[in-house]
């Protein structure tokens, strides 16, 4: 999620620089992490010729040095690989921004033109990978190959290498596992992008606005649905990717949902909530949150059960984590936290209770 959002911001900035007269820039990308780290493979920092930056590659402690390297790359036009290693002292490692006994490898490359194809793919709903050669054995990093399930665009220097890299990339699509791989005697970085999860808010009232804003900020693609067109305006929901006018009966036709979709029903109208819930239960949506008291949600479910079985495991009502909320902004925080926990397959416990590393796979 973060990688998708950050890359979009970086590429938008790159396009802005091109429109302003083609100022030179360098792009720093984390290509390998060993041990614990604040950021992971695919994290990016764009440094313009004037020193301005977009994105980040650490918790803030590596940025100044990486910025200086990037400005050198802008001047020379030659890419560089830089390794940042921590000590065995966990506190010192955290202060450095890399992690306990960890290493962060950063690739810094000159960029001279907007990457329009990558930016266009980021607006889509299908996975892709951007594959680039790392410097090594006396050669500089060169060429990029953009790979989807059905196409490969670009060139890494030979048809055979392009084909081998494309095959490897397709095994990674959907995994969100960016990283370095050895292909045909070359080290290639696979920057893998999966479409961001989609959060659908059914109900465009005032309390939906902070939820939409926060969801977009953490990387969700936000869609607002309401049967009342007057509520569906860009001014009210500037961060939404789509505004959909639909009632429950038309929802399946107007907004197909997949398993990477999460929904919150929040119209404050019993009949509308029931209709939207009925429509959502017919989709693969992974999470259906119901705003309102528990007894109200139970009543809606009982009514729907009269017409057939209801998959109650996907229904979260009352919606959100129990963190003691007061006001729409805090409710939004509780809802987003619960959706993220469901998405990652984790129990929403305090991190101090977790015996394993915080970035380890779910138990």
How many angstroms separate the CA atoms of 142 and 35, rounded? 28
Please report, for residues 27, 154, 157, 181, the alpha-carbon distance to residue 139 in angstroms, rounded to integers and kept in the order given: 19, 19, 12, 17
- What are the residue boundaries of the structural domains of the chain, listed by start? 1-115, 124-195, 198-344
What is the pTM for the complete model shown? 0.78
State pLDDT tens for residues 135-192: 875 455 568 999 999 999 999 999 999 999 999 999 999 888 999 999 989 999 999 9
Owner of token pair 């065995």: 88
Please tell me the predicted confidence (pLDDT) of residue 100: 42
How many angstroms separate the CA atoms of 193 and 87, rounded? 31
Please tell me the predicted confidence (pLDDT) of residue 99: 46
**H-type alpha helices, 101-181:** 116-122, 159-172
Could you say which DSSP state residue 172 is in?
Answer: H
Q: Are 243 and 224 in contact (CB under 8 A)?
A: yes
Exposure on the CB side of residue 291, measured as CA atoms within 13 A: 24
Enclosing H/E stretch for 300: helix 294-305
Q: What is the longest distance spanned by two Cα atoms in the chain?
A: 72
Please tell me the predicted confidence (pLDDT) of residue 91: 47
Cα dihedral 207→213→219→220 (10° resolution) = 40
State pLDDT tens for residues 23-40: 799 999 999 998 766 788
Please tell me the predicted confidence (pLDDT) of residue 359: 56
User: CATH 3.40.50.720: does it fit domain 198-344?
Assistant: yes
Paired residues of 94 in beta bridges: none
How many angstroms separate the CA atoms of 118 and 6, rounded? 13
Q: In sequence order, what E strands does the chain have?
A: 25-34, 44-48, 53-55, 80-85, 103-111, 128-133, 144-147, 152-155, 179-183, 186-193, 198-202, 221-226, 242-245, 261-265, 287-290, 315-316
Owner of token pair 């506190």: 91
Please tell me the predicted confidence (pLDDT) of residue 95: 54
Q: Name, in order, each residue with C-beta under 8 angstroms of 36's C-beta and a sequence gap of 6 or more.
A: 93, 98, 99, 100, 102, 357, 359
Please tell me the predicted confidence (pLDDT) of residue 123: 84
How many angstroms separate the CA atoms of 59 and 38, rounded? 6
Enclosing H/E stretch for 8: helix 2-19
Per-residue pLDDT tens, the chain, 363 aa: give them.
667 888 999 999 999 998 888 679 999 999 999 876 678 899 999 999 999 999 999 877 788 999 999 999 999 999 999 998 765 454 454 455 444 456 889 999 999 889 999 999 998 888 999 999 998 754 555 689 999 999 999 999 999 999 999 999 999 998 889 999 999 899 999 999 988 899 999 999 999 999 999 999 998 999 999 999 999 999 999 999 999 999 999 999 999 999 999 999 999 999 999 999 999 999 999 999 999 999 999 999 999 999 889 999 999 999 999 999 889 999 999 999 999 999 988 887 776 776 766 555 555
Please tell me the predicted confidence (pLDDT) of residue 190: 97
């Amino acid at each position: 999620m973060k990688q998708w959002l950050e890359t979009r911001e970086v590429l938008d900035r790159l396009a802005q620089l091109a429109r302003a007269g083609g100022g030179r820039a360098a792009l720093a990308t984390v290509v390998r992490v060993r041990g614990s780290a604040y950021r992971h493979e695919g994290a990016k920092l764009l440094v313009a010729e004037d020193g301005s930056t977009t994105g980040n590659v650490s918790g803030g402690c590596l940025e100044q040095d990486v910025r200086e390297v990037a400005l050198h790359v802008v001047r020379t036009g030659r890419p560089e690989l830089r390794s940042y290693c921590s000590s065995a002292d966990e506190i010192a490692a955290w202060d450095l921004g890399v992690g306990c006994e960890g290493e962060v490898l950063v690739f810094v490359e000159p960029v001279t033109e907007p990457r329009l194809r990558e930016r266009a793919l980021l607006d889509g709903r299908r996975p892709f990978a951007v594959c680039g050669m790392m410097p090594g054995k006396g050669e500089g990093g060169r060429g990029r190959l953009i790979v989807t399930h059905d196409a490969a665009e670009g060139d890494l220097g030979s048809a055979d290498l392009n084909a081998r890299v494309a095959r490897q990339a397709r095994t990674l699509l959907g995994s969100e596992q960016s990283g370095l791989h050895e292909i045909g005697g070359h080290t290639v970085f696979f920057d893998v992008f999966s479409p961001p999860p989609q959060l659908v808010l059914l109900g465009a009232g005032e309390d939906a606005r902070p939820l939409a804003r926060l969801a977009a900020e953490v990387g969700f693609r936000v869609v607002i649905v309401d049967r009342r067109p007057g509520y569906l305006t860009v001014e009210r929901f500037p961060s939404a990717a789509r505004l959909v006018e639909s009632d429950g009966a038309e929802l399946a036709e107007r907004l197909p949902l997949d398993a990477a979709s999460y929904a919150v029903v929040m119209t404050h109208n019993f009949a509308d909530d029931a209709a939207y819930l009925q429509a959502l239960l017919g989709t693969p949506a992974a999470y259906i949150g119901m705003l309102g008291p528990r007894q109200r949600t139970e009543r809606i479910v009982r009514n729907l059960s009269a017409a057939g079985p209801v998959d109650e495991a996907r229904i979260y009502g009352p919606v959100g984590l129990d963190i003691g909320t007061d006001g729409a902004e805090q409710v939004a925080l509780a809802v987003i936290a619960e959706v993220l926990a469901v998405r990652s397959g984790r129990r929403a416990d305090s991190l101090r209770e977790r015996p394993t590393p915080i970035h380890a796979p779910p138990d």
